[in-house]
Structure 1
């Protein structure tokens, strides 16, 4: 990357934009800096995975009953360590952990106003075949009084209460994309300097795209509304058929669709009636980003950000992307439901 005066580092950007953040006290800047640091460490590990004997399964299962990859465990430890040491979060919930973690290190731990929910390595099964993976994070102000121990209620908040969210994509280049409720911006890592530079300012979804992303191998398990929408996408009419693109890593699929225009769908199935994606670690942060980028995100009927969580590892169906594409998918879902 050739550096010019137009390139701002992530650190500079965070400082410049502090006034746009209603709770600006410097703590959020420190929190985002911790995520930036952890992402660079994870990026290093991901890039040497094939030669460092850290690919493959670790032999354990996470709370969802899924086989943990070695890098899942490593990334989880890296992010928890980085976030814990800054004394700006009082609790962390991770997709890889059964329960939330109360942060007690430091003298000001209980005074911290923020909790973080994180999917440390989304799409980690793709590591073995050298396909892009990512990290997803979500930040809330706690609802209980600072100075008291963090509780489950601090994490079980609606997505509309998020104060920041984002993801890191570890691909041909490594990027951090995040929002604090004032648009979406992307920063690309210059590996020679170890610095993230603003490369994608004011990222937006086009209102209508031409890509649909769904695991069509599960077609016969999908609700009728999803089947009808897939047929609509494939029909030669007007500006269709659309292009089918599915990586199997939410971060990568979402990132591509935001840049090129498209919809990502992970619906309920006959085997998983609530879908597979986690509301708190994946759907809420991606929904916040999508809406800030002019897109839309629902469970097929209801706005994702308005769903009240009832448990840490709750799953929901997920329709996310270009506004008009999501609305059309919802139309097919409603029509099918009315005919049942």
Structure 2
């Protein structure tokens, strides 16, 4: 069975890029071990601080960020780290050739109820600086800490899925993930309906109408509240994830962060045949203006994303 180092050797001859992925995989394996014992250790509560976005930090947000910092500092290939949990970008190695942007622990509000959380990361070339479009990414990935610990990663070709084995090795179990073009599932927080724009409301209304509506088929709604968990489900069996711009988030530009949430997930979706958009623009073409910039995020099965884009075009 193929292990991560073998896969990397076949995917790229850039040893620094491969090393950055290995460092994130090693950090994630350590985070997975911490999460398994977190309830016993009393680490699932609040840390008593807030991050740069003004969000209350969980103890495990801080612990996970420290673990990522430790692993990346030990790798001279890393020039800069951007983290959701840190106000500013961190200078690492002056000789580094790649930048890592990460959300060390996505969905941490779910920790108290033992729901899947994750780590998301994006890797960019140092020469382009921190604020690069998503299409400039060298690689991206996420780790889902669920019943199994899954590493989903893409360099330039297909999006591949690894599982963390009991011996600590990442073993390839899906070489080419494929998101079905059509689906009967959508993921959105319907409690925010009062804030939605017309395009979002019309798309969801069509889905709820089922066979009697314009979509002509029955839909189910799924919403975990952990981006990694929702995207992993869509990657495996199709669907669409929506966190659109709405009347409450418009002042901030959206809800999810471009560099270390939207861009890496859009990169992975592209490698699996899916689509990603803000509603009006391909996420991977958005010009970043700040390391913590927020954007609307709509991604998943290509036909479903196209339907949403059609509604935005009408608007």
Normalised by the shorter chain, which TM-score bucket? over 0.9
Residues 16-165 of structure 1 aligned to structure 2 (within 5 Å): 16-18=10-12, 24-103=13-92, 109-143=93-127, 154-165=129-140
Alignment correspondent of 2:297: 318
**Take 2:66 and 2:50, find their aligned partners in 1: how far apart are those partners?**
16
**Take 2:117 and 2:61, find their aligned partners in 1: how far apart are those partners?**
11
Alignment correspondent of 1:271: 248
**Take 1:25 and 1:318, find their aligned partners in 2: how far apart are those partners?**
30
In the alignment, is the contact (CA less than 8 A) between 1:55 and 1:69 conserved in 2?
A: yes
Q: Secondary structure at the match of 2:293?
A: coil
Alignment correspondent of 1:198: 172
Alignment correspondent of 1:290: 269
**What are the superposed Cα offsets for residues 245-268 of structure 1, whole Å, 9 maximum, x if unpaired?**
010000110010111110000011
Q: Structure 1 regions of 5+ residues with no counterpart?
A: 1-6, 19-23, 104-108, 145-153
Cα separation, partners in 2 of 1:25 and 1:316, compared to 1, 3 Å = closer
**Take 1:242 and 1:64, find their aligned partners in 2: how far apart are those partners?**
34
Which residue of the other structure, out of 130, 136, 146, is the alignment partner of 1:171? 146
Deviation at 1:333, TM superposition (A): 2.0
In the alignment, is the contact (CA less than 8 A) between 1:159 and 1:307 conserved in 2?
A: yes
CA RMSD in angstroms, aligned pairs only = 1.1
In the alignment, structure 1 residue 188 sits paired with structure 2 residue 167: no
Q: Secondary structure at the match of 1:111?
A: coil
Give me the TM-score of the superposition, normalised by structure 1.
Answer: 0.89
In the alignment, structure 1 residue 330 sits paired with structure 2 residue 314: no
Give me the TM-score of the superposition, normalised by structure 2.
Answer: 0.96
In the alignment, is the contact (CA less than 8 A) between 2:134 and 2:263 conserved in 1?
A: yes
**What are the superposed Cα offsets for residues 170-190 of structure 1, whole Å, 9 maximum, x if unpaired?**
001001000001110000111
**Take 1:129 and 1:25, find their aligned partners in 2: how far apart are those partners?**
40
Deviation at 1:236, TM superposition (A): 2.4
Which residue of the other structure, out of 181, 186, 196, is the alignment partner of 1:212? 186
In the alignment, structure 1 residue 12 sits paired with structure 2 residue 6: yes
Deviation at 1:209, TM superposition (A): 1.2
In the alignment, is the contact (CA less than 8 A) between 1:277 and 1:315 conserved in 2?
A: yes
**Take 2:25 and 2:146, find their aligned partners in 1: how far apart are those partners?**
16
Which residue of the other structure, out of 260, 275, 278, is the alignment partner of 1:299? 278
Q: Which moved more, 1:121-130 or 1:135-144?
A: 135-144
Deviation at 1:43, TM superposition (A): 0.1
Deviation at 1:239, TM superposition (A): 4.9
Q: Which moved more, 1:47-56 or 1:230-239?
A: 230-239
